[in-house]
Structure 1
């Protein structure tokens, strides 16, 4: 049983890490797009989500709520906040 687990981890972990690395720029783009949409519309985040069409709401749910996307979403959010702080200082 231990050999099978080790084999699975040695295969699945690199795939998951690669997936996370690929998703970081996509998540960053999505987060920055949503923040820009908030600024343009003048709505709060919750108001914006309430007014979303069903298809866009479904996309948001998949992008932000998928368990496998959590690490990429967290890293992207951190990068976005870091960039915003850096640009607000200048």
Structure 2
């Protein structure tokens, strides 16, 4: 089972790829809710876009590495919004 940050990073990368390198700020709050994440205190959507850019750094077009680095950067600025929902998904 993958963490919400990893799923969000993959979704964010797909958004970026499908819209030719553009991530619309209007879609970020919806994506955060969809993947059960919220921004840490004093973080903004601009920080989210910067984290995405840092995730692409030094990946040389390697998609798997890009998504992995984006997930690490997202983990620094986002937290899980609702732990009960997150735990319920992992129980069998």
Q: If each structure's helix is expressed as a fraction of its own residues, which one has the higher value?
A: 1
Q: If each structure's strand is expressed as a fraction of its own residues, which one has the higher value?
A: 2
TM-score, normalised on structure 2?
0.32
Structure number with greater CO (CA < 8 Å, separation at least 6) is: 1
Larger Rg: 1
TM-score, normalised on structure 1?
0.33
